[in-house]
Every structure is written in structure tokens, then in C-alpha cells.
């Protein structure tokens, strides 16, 4: 478990410390959806404590602070849970690209309908 202290309301959000919930990062100015990642108790506690975009890397099985290697950071301005308490909307000030490809958003590949 994390060295970060969790408040009771954060513990209530993620009753199981290993549970991952989807976290959608949205640009505070443009309202553009930047990325989708996942958080567990440890990532959420770190995000709340530091106001930095912090997620759980499913591929590396470790805490991931956005921008730690790229310098493209996220300042977290607010958090909101959906009505079922199983998804998180994160309002961020994005510094640099949100996507690892260098694009502003991870959602840059349109799918043709019909």
C-alpha cells in the first residue's frame, strides 16, 4: 500500500485498494478530453495530495505520474465521480502533449461511421 494517507472519503471511493477505476482527464480551458487512464487507491491518494496527474500503469504494474519522463505534466484542478462512483473525471491544466505520441489528446484517430 502507498505511504500516502487516505482520507475516509477516498477510502470509500475505492474500497478495494487494488481496484482500478477509469479516470478521464479533461482540459480545464478547452473541455477537450485528453486521455483515459486508471487509478487505484494509491494513485488517487497521490493525486489528491500533490494535485498532479497520477495514475496506475496496468502494463508496468506501478504508479505513474504524468510527465515524469516526458515533462508533459498535468496540474489537477478538480476531481468528480460519476453517479455510480466507478469513474473519475479529472479537470487538468495540461502542460505539453497529453498523448505519448506527441498529440494534444489521445483521441486523435477518428472512426468512420456507416
pLDDT at 9: 60
In a domain, 105, yes or no: no
The reply to whether 28 falls in a domain is yes
The pLDDT tens digits of the residues spanning 35-63 come to 999 999 889 989 999 999 999 999 999 99
Selected residue with higher pLDDT from 82 and 8: 82
Residue 6 has pLDDT above 70, yes or no: no
CATH number for the domain harbouring residue 28: 3.10.20.810
- Residue-wise pLDDT tens digits, 67-101: 999 999 999 999 998 887 789 999 999 999 999 99
Asked whether residue 99 is assigned to any structural domain, the reply reads: no
Domain span holding position 81:
8-94
How do strand 88-94 and strand 74-81 relate by DSSP bridges? Answer: antiparallel
SS3 assignment, position 42:
helix
Amino acid at each position: 500500500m502507498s505511504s500516502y494517507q487516505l482520507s475516509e472519503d477516498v477510502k470509500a471511493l475505492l474500497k478495494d485498494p487494488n481496484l482500478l477505476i477509469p479516470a478521464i482527464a479533461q482540459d480545464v480551458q478547452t473541455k477537450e478530453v485528453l486521455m483515459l487512464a486508471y487509478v487505484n487507491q494509491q494513485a488517487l491518494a497521490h493525486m489528491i495530495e500533490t494535485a498532479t496527474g497520477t495514475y496506475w500503469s496496468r502494463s508496468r504494474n506501478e504508479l505513474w505520474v504524468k510527465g515524469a519522463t516526458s515533462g508533459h505534466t498535468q496540474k489537477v484542478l478538480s476531481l468528480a465521480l460519476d453517479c455510480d462512483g466507478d469513474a473519475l473525471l479529472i479537470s487538468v491544466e495540461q502542460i505539453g502533449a497529453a498523448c505519448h505520441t506527441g498529440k494534444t489528446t489521445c483521441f486523435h484517430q477518428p472512426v468512420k461511421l456507416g
